[in-house]
Structures are given as C-alpha cells and as structure tokens.
C-alpha cells in the first residue's frame, strides 16, 4: 500500500531555539516532515523556491522584514498555507488578527519553554494537517462586508440561545457572520479553537464590528439578549442554569480533541439546559470537534446549521456533523446569518403556539 506523502513544513523564526523546539515537536509525527527553517523572510523566500513546502510556520516579529509584511507579499505572489506562531501579547494579538485577515490559516502562541512546546506539539501537528488541506475560498470579509446588520422585527423567546463552534479559518468565518446579526438577539456563546490571550483581542475586534456587546467570557457571567461571549483560550465554556436564566462557567478540565476550548464541551453543556431552545452553528475547522455535541443538542430538540464545503477553509468539523445526520441545514457562509434569524423566528413561533395550546 502506498503511503501518502508527508506534509512538508518550513519553519520561519528568528530564534534558533524556537526553530529547534518546533522541529523537535513535529519530528515524532510520521505524517509531517520539517524540510527546512529560516531566520527571516529573505532566507525564507529562497527556501520556499528551493524546497516547495506544503505549509509554513511564521513568526511575526523578525529582523529585516516583519512577518505580516512578508505574509502579505507571499499571499499575493506565492500563496501558501501559513500558520502564525508568535508571542501573543496584547499588541502581538492585534497583529495576529491582521495576519488572519491577510490570509494566515491559523494562529498559535509561541512556545516559551520545552514544557510549553511539549503541550503545543500535538495541537501544532493537527493544525499543520488542517492547513495542508485548507482551501482558500473568497475571504470572509469579501463574502459579506455589511454596512448595517440585518433588520429584524418582533421579539424572541427569552429561553433561546445561539451557540457557534469553529476552528481553522473560523475567525474570518465569524467575521462574516457576527457583524451581520442585529442587536437584541438571544445570547450568543462562541467556542473558537484559540490560544490564551488571543481570545481577548478577538473579542475586542468583534465588539468594534458588531451592533451588540462582544467580549471574552468570564466565569459566572449571566447570559442576556444582546451579548456574545467568546470562550477564553485554554478554558472550556460551559453553559448552565435554567432556560432564560443561563450562566456560564469556565473550566480547565482536560482538553477534548487536543483543544481547550472545545466545541463539544459548549454544545454538550447547552444541550442539558437549553435543549430545544438552542440554535447551534458549526463552522470551518479541522477534525471532528463539535459533531458529538451537536448530536446531543439535536437529540434534545435544538436547531442545527453547518457551513458548506465550498466556503469552508477546512471542511472537517462541518463534515463530521453532517455525516452523523444531525444537521438541519448546510449553507454557504454568506447565508448563515439569515438562517440563524429564520431559525430563531421559527422557534419563537413554535413556542408561542405551544403556549396558546397549553392555555
């Protein structure tokens, strides 16, 4: 049996120590081969031409040319799946967001010690495999660039809740969905595979783009209409309480699918309390996180939506949920905001009818 070729990786970082740590972390994966490394973009340019890598890891703070500038040039002249591995301070996180908008597939925090790279190793390998299969559909911002959110009329059932899970390519997918949603909707909980510190910067960026409040979740937060909470990096976001009186908990229970936050943790917890009042959306991402949780939600009566293959950067997570038969609607990214609103209206109408029949 012919084995598929290994994924060829080029590591670009000005620190020889970090280059060595990343290479060693990937060396144990039989599906990945580190074919070279470079200390700056100028050397990386020559290595790309010489080695023809499948995926590149890229630091953002480097001498001679910063990583963001190099990424923009690269995507224009020699598109290549890129995973940013950088120091995610507050300032660095803002630059990492710019890198995603410029075409990077994913962002991970730079290791600071042998211990941290040991923890990062399986996650990095998984992200590299996802990047190797990533397609580059039209950027999310190009699919939908709203000047105003979709208009809605009427009110919603106070027990409703919106749940969104995403991974590789998910930040840009969320940028196509969240600003389209109007203020006053039921509360939104988001689990995006994301490193620590980066989640706060992402929440702040979305808070500027959206008509409602978006922020990083804090333990004990009460969910309310017009609020979207993003799970912090390295914490699972758990929904509890009663319908209409939801609260969230943050936990550092073991990672699921090498991820914390995990979409399955969010979806499964919401199934126990939100059930048929939930609308769950699964967006682009590597692997199958979220599929089992969506199955649990569907069994509890939730409405479910998945992003289609054509607009997904990586179709792993949506495909896994679809193959389980637990997705009501499979849609292009640009149609998902309207589908969320239509689902909320249908749920509200059904709840109102049930209340009248019970009276």
- Active site (annotated) includes residue 193: yes
How far is the C-alpha of 303 from the C-alpha of 189, rounded, in Å? 15
Which segments of the chain belong to CATH 3.40.50.180? 143-358
CATH 3.40.50.2300 residue ranges of the chain are 7-132
Q: Which residues contact 257 (CB under 8 A, 6 or more apart)?
A: 264, 287, 288, 289
Output phi, psi for 186, to 5 deg: -55, 160
pLDDT 10s digit of each residue in the chain, 359 long? 567 899 999 999 999 988 998 998 898 899 999 999 999 999 999 999 999 999 999 999 888 899 999 999 998 888 999 999 987 665 668 888 899 989 999 998 887 655 455 667 778 888 899 899 887 654 444 444 445 567 666 688 899 999 999 999 999 999 999 999 999 999 999 999 988 878 999 999 999 999 999 999 999 999 999 999 999 999 999 999 988 899 999 999 999 988 899 999 999 999 999 789 999 999 999 999 999 999 999 999 999 999 999 999 999 999 999 999 999 999 999 999 999 999 999 888 877 776 666 65
Which residue spans within 80-143 are E strands per DSSP?
Answer: 82-86, 106-109
Catalytic position from the list 289, 303, 308, 312 = 289
**Catalytic (active site) residue 346:** no
Alpha-carbon span 80 to 12, nearest angstrom: 13
For the domain spanning 7-132, the CATH number is 3.40.50.2300
Q: What is the distance between the alpha carbons of residues 107 and 31, in angstroms, rounded to a whole number?
A: 21
pTM value?
0.90
- Are the beta carbons of 238 and 250 closer than 8 angstroms? yes
Burial 158-182 (b: 16+ CB within 10 A, else e): ebbbbbbbbbbbbbbbbbbbbbbbb
**13 flagged as catalytic:** no
The CATH homologous superfamily to which domain 143-358 belongs is Methylesterase CheB, C-terminal domain (3.40.50.180)
pLDDT at 136: 66
- Strand 245-251 versus strand 236-242 pairing type: antiparallel
Q: Of the listed 13, 37, 193, 234, which one is catalytic?
A: 193
């Amino acid at each position: 049996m012919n084995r598929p070729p290994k994924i060829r990786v080029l590591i670009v970082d000005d620190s020889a120590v970090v280059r060595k740590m990343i290479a060693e972390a990937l060396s144990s994966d039989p599906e990945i081969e580190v074919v070279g490394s470079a200390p700056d973009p100028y050397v990386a340019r020559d290595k790309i031409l010489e080695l023809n890598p499948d995926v590149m890891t890229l630091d953002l703070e480097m001498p001679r040319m910063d990583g963001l500038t190099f990424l923009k040039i690269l995507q224009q002249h020699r598109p290549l799946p890129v995973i940013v591995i950088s120091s995610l301070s507050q300032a660095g996180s803002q630059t990492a967001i710019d890198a995603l908008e410029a075409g990077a597939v994913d962002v991970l925090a730079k290791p600071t010690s042998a211990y941290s790279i040991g923890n990062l190793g399986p996650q990095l390998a998984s992200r590299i495999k996802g990047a190797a299969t990533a397609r580059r559909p039209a950027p999310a911002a190009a699919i939908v660039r709203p000047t105003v959110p979709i208009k809605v009329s009427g009110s919603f059932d106070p027990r409703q809740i919106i749940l969104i899970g995403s991974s590789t390519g998910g930040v840009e997918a969320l940028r196509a969905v969240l600003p389209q949603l109007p203020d006053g909707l039921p509360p939104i909980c988001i689990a995006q595979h994301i490193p620590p510190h980066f989640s706060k910067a992402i929440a702040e960026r979305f808070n500027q783009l959206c008509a409602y409040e978006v922020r990083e979740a804090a333990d004990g937060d009460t969910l309310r209409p017009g609020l979207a909470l993003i799970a912090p990096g390295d914490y699972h976001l758990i929904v509890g309480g009663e319908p209409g009186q939801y609260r969230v908990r943050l936990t550092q229970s073991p990672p699921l699918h090498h991820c914390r936050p995990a979409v399955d943790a969010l979806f499964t917890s919401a199934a126990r309390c939100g059930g048929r009042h939930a609308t769950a959306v699964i967006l682009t991402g590597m692997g199958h996180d979220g599929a089992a949780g969506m199955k649990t939600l569907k069994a509890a009566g939730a409405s479910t939506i998945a992003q289609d293959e054509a607009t997904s950067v990586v179709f792993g997570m949506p495909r896994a949920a679809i193959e389980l038969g637990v997705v009501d609607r499979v849609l292009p990214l640009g149609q998902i905001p309207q589908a969320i609103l239509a689902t909320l209206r249908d749920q509200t109408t059904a709840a109102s009818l049930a209340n009248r029949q019970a009276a």
